[in-house]
Structure formats: C-alpha cells, structure tokens
A and B are shown apart, each in its own frame.
Chain A
C-alpha cells in the first residue's frame, strides 16, 4: 500500500519518458522497415518489367510473322545488353504452342514472365513440321502435297505433338510464317502457322 502511494506521488515522470521513447523507437523501426521494403519492391518490379520487355519483344516478333499474308522468315536475338538487372545472369526461354515464357533467377528468387502470342505457334522447324504431318497424314501439307483432312484434326494433332521447348537465349531464334494446305478433295484451303526454332 505504501509502495503504491509512493508510486502515485512520484512526479519524476520516468514512466512517461520510457513510454514515449519506446514508442519513438518502435515507430522509427516500422518506418525504416517500410522504406527498406518499398525499395526492395521497386527493385523487384523493375526486374519483372525488364523480363516482361524481353518476352513482349519475342511475342511481338512472333505476331509480326503471324500477321504476314505471305511466308516470312525473321531472325530474333535476345538483347540482354540493355537489361541492367540481367547482366551476366542466365535467362531461360520456353516456347509452347500457347505461351512464351522467359524466366530468370535473381538472388535466388525466380522471376517469370509469360505472354500469349496471337497466332498459332509450332516450336519446331519446317522440316520437323513436314515430317510430323507426313507420318500422320501421308503428305507434308505443302501446296503441292495438301493434306486430306479437316483443319481441326490437323490443329488437334499438332497441338498434341507440341511440348514446351527450351531455347538457349545466347543463340538466335528463327521465326518462320508458313501455311499448311489441306483439302476436302474439292477445295484446297490453308491455315497459317508460326514456326519458332533454333
């Protein structure tokens, strides 16, 4: 009872001092942590943006070839020189019939950028396409050897044949617009494909 009375009459205000300083230290820690986290997030966003730039550029080349009304060949090089976050880093590119994926590891953290091309992609060379079509339909789908099948069958077959293909980002990528010709024994139609290979 005496101790409580002494405590209540104590006017040195040391509790006030300790509480306010503790609050101040805590607030400073929170602010410093927030600033640090903010800086780290900005860095992550920037590296993600750089990777997005690379995948968008590749998709844009694929779409450019796909939009061409004629057969077309484009060679694409991964330009890592203007990407400061990825200097000396190993980049991996994977292309399937539906996605273009570029990924990298920055300080042990994986960063992935995936984009969708607008046109149909077959990630193999023209020779591989011809061989695949010939083994399934008996003709290679060229103008002189049109395939006797429905276009949905051809697309379904090529989609089932397609796996995710790894591309070496140090070597050039060849992008080729080609057409697969098919016939119903009356008319000859064609469907465009973009071949992407190394």
Chain B
C-alpha cells in the first residue's frame, strides 16, 4: 500500500477518466439491478394480494353456497361434500358447482375438519393446473357430519393462475 501511494510514475494518470466512466457504468448497472429486483418483489406481492382477495371471495361464496348447505344456513353438509369430492363425485353436481364460476378461473377446494379426521377435495374435472402462480385463502366453516354432530373446520380455496392472466 505504502509503495502504491508513493509511486510517482503516474502510469494510470492519463486513463483516469476511463476508470471514472467504468465506475459510473458499474454503479448504474448495480442500481438498475437493485431497482428491477425490487420491482419483481413488488410484482410478486401485488400478484399475491390481488389474487388472495379473489380466492377469499370464492371461498366465501362456496362457504355460503346453497349446494353445500346443511340443515341450517351456517352449516356445511358432509353428505353433500361426499357427492362432490373424490373419484366417485357426481359429474352432474360437480358441473353445476363449477359452472357458477368463470371458466377462466382454475381452482380447487380443500375442506377439512379441525382435527384432520375428515378431509374433502373438490376439483374441476379434466383440469391440468399447469399454471405459474398459486394463491390460497381459507375461511372457517362448521361441518355437519350428521344431524347430531357438528364440528369446526376450514375451507381452503387454492387458485391457480397464469402470470399474464393475473
């Protein structure tokens, strides 16, 4: 270091401006990288936020749907969930369920009791879900397992979205 500071030959002196420009370009490139990274992070969070609201509204719509209603308006019938979920789902009822929603919206519904003993999954038939973004929203529900037994549970809507279709 001492040798470098006391070197009076001035080899670098004529190219000072080139080094200064190189530093400026480097600084600008780093600045652009930081800004674009921040923009991508902001895009991701706004994508999640926008679609979370939609997923949440779908979840609320399903939670209050008359198709899944139990003996009371605030109850969700396990018997009706059985008809809609799994491999033996009734295609007619499943079609009526998903036809209430836009055909451009791909989602699946997971419903489970709080203790995890019972779980149902409602999926659109013949859907591939080959999308980039996934956003999920949950709402609490009360499941009516039978007329004598009502248990708390969660209804989760998993929304599958392409970035361009956000």
Taking Cβ atoms with an 8 Å cutoff, the residues of A that contact B are 16, 20, 23-24, 27-28, 30-31, 34-35, 38, 45, 56, 59-60, 63-64, 66-69, 97-99, 115-121, 151-152, 155, 189-192
A17 to B126, CA, bound (A): 70
- Establish whether residues A98 and B102, one from each chain, have CB atoms under 8 Å apart when the complex forms: yes
Cβ of B30 < 8 Å from any Cβ of A?
A: no
A118 touches B54 (CB 8 A): yes
Q: Is the CB of B58 within 8 A of A34?
A: no
Residue in A119, A151, A189 with the greatest tally of chain B CB atoms within 10 Å? A119
Chain A residues whose CB sits within 8 angstroms of the CB of B17 once the complex forms: 20, 24
Q: A115: which B residues are within 8 A, CB to CB?
A: 166
Other 15 A-B pairs with CB < 8 A, given A31-B24, A63-B54, A115-B166: A38-B32, A45-B39, A60-B53, A60-B57, A63-B53, A63-B58, A67-B57, A97-B102, A116-B102, A117-B102, A119-B102, A120-B100, A120-B102, A152-B95, A189-B96
B65: chain A residues within 8 A (beta carbon): 69
Could you write out 17 A-B pairs with CB less than 8 Å apart?
Answer: A24-B18, A31-B24, A31-B28, A35-B28, A64-B57, A68-B61, A69-B66, A115-B166, A118-B54, A118-B101, A119-B100, A120-B102, A121-B102, A151-B96, A152-B99, A189-B96, A190-B66
| Interchain nearest-CB distance for B57 vs A (Å) | 4
Q: Do the beta carbons of A119 and B28 come within 8 Å of each other?
A: no
Number of A-B contacts (CB under 8 A): 87
In the complex, the chain B residue whose C-beta lies closest to that of A114 is: B165
Q: How far is the CB of B98 from chain A (nearest CB, A)?
A: 11
**A67 in contact with B58 (CB, 8 Å):** yes
Residues of A within 8 A of B99 (CB): 120, 151-152, 155, 191
List residues of chain B with CB within 8 A of the CB of A118: 54, 57-58, 61, 101-102, 105
Q: Which residues of A contact B54 (CB under 8 A)?
A: 59-60, 63, 118
- Interface of chain B: mostly helix, strand, loop or mixed: helix
Interface size class of B (residues with CB under 8 A): 20 to 34
Structural contact, A66 and B15, CB atoms closer than 8 A: no
B25 contact set on A, CB distance < 8 A = 27, 30-31
On chain A, the residues within 8 Å of B165 by CB distance are 116
> Once the chains bind, are B21 and A28 in contact (CB under 8 Å)?
yes
Mask: chain B, 1-27; 1 = CB below 8 Å from A; 0 = not: 000000000000011011001001100
Flag if B104 contacts A98 (CB, 8 Å): yes
Q: Are A67 and B21 in contact (CB under 8 A)?
A: no
B157 to chain A, nearest CB (A): 9
